[in-house]
Every structure is written in C-alpha cells, then in structure tokens.
Amino acid sequence: MKALSKIIKVDYLSRVEGEGGLVIEIKDDRTVRLRVNIFEAPRFFESFLRGRPYFDVMDFTARICGICPVAYQMSSVHAIEKIFNIEVEKPIKELRRLLYCGEWIESHALHIYLLNGPDFYNIESAWSSKEYLTIAKKGLYFKKLGNEILTILGGRSVHPISIRVGGFYKMPDKKSLSALLPELKKAYEESLKEIKWVAGLQFNDNSWDTEYVSLIHDNEYPMNYGNVASNKGLNMPMEKFIENVQEYQVNYSTALHSGLKRDSYVSPYVVGPLSRLNLNYEKLPAEIQNMIKEAGISLPITNTHMSIIARSVELAYAFYEAIRIINEYNEYDRSFIDSELKEGEAVWITEAPRGILIHRYELDNSGYVKNCTIIPPTSQNFAHIEADIYRFVQNNIDKPEDFIKKESEKIIRSYDPCISCSVHVVKTRNC
C-alpha cells in the first residue's frame, strides 16, 4: 500500500476568539509538521505601557481583552501593590473576588453554550438548530448575570473602570448588590443541574498524561492568591514560577509559545479550568462536590474534550461565591488605601477564566513603568494545543481528512483560546 502524504488545512478557525488557522502536513504515514497558525495582528501592549504612570496600567491592560478584562486588571493591580507594599483589607479582597466571579460567569457561559457546546450536537453554530436554541438562550441568561455583576462593581460590563491601586475608585452600595440575589440564586440552582447535562455529553477519548498547572491556596478555590502548582509536583511562589517559564517565538505565529524549563528541553503544560479543577477539587463547597459525584464525574480529568465539564463546575461555583460574598458584604467607607511611590519589580499571577495570567512590572522611583512582561494563558497553552493535535493525528492518520480536520478544530476549541490576548510579536524580514 502506498504511503500516505497530504496537507490538511483549516484556513480560519471558527467559534474561537480571534483569528487563526491550522496546517497539518502528513508524509509517509506520519505527521511531519503541524502549525496552529496565528495571523492576527500583534497588539504591542507591553511596549505601550513602558513610560506610562502606574495608575494607567489597569485601564490599559483591561483593553487587551473584551472577554476577560478583569483578569488583566487583577494581575496588574496586585503586582503594583506588591511593589508599593500595599496589603488591601478583606472587604476589598472580597469585592475583587466578586468582580472576578462576574467575569468567570460571563466567560464560561459564552464558551460552554455558544462556542464549545455546538460541537457535541454536530452543528455549525448555536443558532443552527431549534433544539439547541433553548440551550443557547440559557447560556445568554447566565452571561447576562455575569455582566450585571461587572456593571455594578466595575462601572460597565466591558473594560471596567473601577479598579485602582489600593482598592476601588468607588465602593458599591449594599442595595445594588442585594438586588442581584434573587436571579443569582435561581441561576446557581440551574447551573448546578447543568453539570449533569454537560457530564452526559458524548466525549471522544483524548486522554493522556500531561502537566496541569494552576494556582493553589490553603483556604479557597484560587482566583487572586496562592502558589503555582502542578500535578507533577511543582509548587512554588509566583515570582519563582516565572523564572521557570520559557517564552519562545515560532515563525508561523504572532503569538509567543511557552513551556516549562527542564534540564535540556522545554516542556508544554496546560493552564485553565481543567487544571484548576484537578488541583483544587477539595476547595469546592460540599454541594458542588456532591453534584460532581452524582453526575458520575471522575477526577482527575485528563481528556481535553472534557474541559467543558470543568467550566460547568466553575460556572456553578462562581454563582455560589457571588451569592456568598454579597450576603456577607457590609458597606465599607474606605474604598482604597493610599500608597507611597516606590521603585521596584514584582510578579503577580491570577486565574483568568482561561488559566493563569502572569504579569511582571518594573517601576522607577517616580512610578513610571520601565519594563513589563505579560504572559496570557492562551500563549502558555499553544505548545500543548499543538502537541495535543499532533498526538490525535498520529493515532488517527488513516481516518478521512474531513474527520481529522473537524476533530482537530474541536481540540482547539476545548482550550477556549483567546487569540487576541496572545499576539505579542511581529514577523520581520530582511529588506
């Protein structure tokens, strides 16, 4: 039998944020080249920030992403507060966590119901069938509630404007937050049931032994605080972790790739909801743990396609946490802590919906940014996405081209890539 040689191309990835494609080259019955081709224009935010005053950073970084602006604000504000030796008080910490809950809700709802969900019904989009339309509307309902949290706390649902070094520009009143409770409680009960629906979807097997990386915390399911850990024994402070991450450029992408430094090589790893759930299951409330068991979900989950389960669990958890924080909130007069300018450098990592978001800032003694590094979760996942698809193609190399193409796209969507966040480099050529 003649050896198989062909090129499989996906010119434009659908149902992902941003612009990218996929090229798979097969020669003599094996995959010789695989590229997740990111051609979206680079954003240059790290360059824009150099020379800007520290108080501009949160508003600038929020513009990196329209889906997860809070994540960029949280990582940046905590890093700058670390330079200034600011420890915000508990009410501020809790409200920031609530703001993050709003973002997790709207982002996870978007991905579960509109981007990834249609894959399990073999439809092109959430609007392609009357059967799925009811499911999609539920996702929009959840997303709307997440946006309402962002609006009350952040001033608007996209690119919030309330975060400042030391706290908030303005604290919300109890009445405005409490008005959300009836719908949040209803949504929590619905989202808890939805875990069963998601767990009952038909998943192709794409399980393999890999490294899952997330924050861990002694007392909470992590969002803003903790060490960086993995299922392979990694456990270190944030500032140490960035020293173990190697960013590198590939010539077919405007996004950097990342890997963990080893003795003689760099290895891919996974960040995101699957990593968080695998490493932090015990920090979930008992009723969510019980629903996970009732739905027949076994942990750890190592099948990429089942990332949607982790997002469903976190969607319910974000509603649970939002209700808890609002119930416990008492109006607080002081919205921020004053700070003194200090020269220095700091790293902070928070859990964006798509995984750990790394920020490092160096400020001069006037509070201006000298240097900064931003490593988005999607950049950290790209090397693993390619390894994941490569492994799948090798195991299915004799299957029809259309099958390989569609399943490879599904793998990419399972990671919920935010391509616009990831583009940080520009291709150059000699003239």
101 is in an annotated binding site: no
pLDDT band at residue 28, thresholds of 50, 70 and 90? Answer: confident
Q: Are 261 and 247 in contact (CB under 8 A)?
A: no
Q: Is residue 393 part of a domain?
A: no
Q: Using one digit for the tens of pLDDT, what is the confidence trace for 237-246? A: 999 999 999 9
CA atoms of 116 and 120, how far apart (whole Å) = 8
| pLDDT of 100 over the 90 cut | yes
Is residue 120 in some structural domain?
A: yes
Distance CA 120, CA 305 (A): 10
289 occurs within a structural domain: yes
> Domains in the chain: how many in total?
1
Give the HSE-up count for residue 25: Cα atoms under 13 Å, Cβ half-sphere.
6
Q: Answer yes or no: is 65 a known binding residue.
A: yes
Check if the beta carbon of residue 188 is closer than 8 Å to that of residue 316.
yes
Which of 410, 427, 62 minimizes the C-alpha distance to 256? 427
Torsion over CA of 47, 53, 56 and 57, rounded to 10 degrees? 50
Q: Which of 358, 332, 373, 336 is nearest to 87 (CA)?
A: 336
pLDDT tens digit sequence for 374-411: 999 999 999 999 999 999 999 898 889 999 999 999 99
In a domain, residue 387? The reply is: no
Is residue 303 situated within a structural domain?
yes
Check whether 323 is labelled as a binding-site residue: no
Q: Where are the beta strands (DSSP E) in 15-172?
A: 20-27, 30-38, 163-164, 167-168
372 is in an annotated binding site: no
d(CA 100, CA 95) in angstroms, rounded, equals 9
**Could you read off the pLDDT of 256-270 as tens digits, one per residue?**
889 999 888 899 999
- Residue 272, sorted as left (phi over 0), alpha (psi -120 to 50) or beta, turns out to be left
Residue 77 counted as domain residue = yes
The response to whether 431 counts as a known ligand-binding position is no
Read off the pLDDT band of 331 (50, 70, 90): confident
Q: Tell me the per-residue pLDDT of 153-176, one tens digit each, with 9 for 90 and over.
A: 999 888 999 999 999 999 999 999
In three-state secondary structure terms, 245 is strand
pLDDT at 359 over 80: yes
Q: Determine how β-strand 167-168 pairs with β-strand 163-164.
A: antiparallel
Alpha carbon 247 to chain centroid distance?
A: 18
Residue 5 inside a domain? The answer is no
Q: Radius of gyration over alpha carbons of the chain, in Å? A: 21
- Helix (H) / strand (E) element for 370: namely strand 369-375
- Structural domain includes residue 399: no
Question: Does 424 belong to an annotated binding site?
Answer: yes
**HEC letters along 175-199:** HHHHCCHHHHHHHHHHHHHHHHHHH
Record the pTM.
0.94
Question: What's the CATH number where 320 sits?
Answer: 1.10.645.10
The parent domain of residue 207 ranges over 52-381
E strand or H helix at 246: strand 245-248
Q: Are strands 355-363 and 369-375 parallel, antiparallel or unpaired?
A: antiparallel
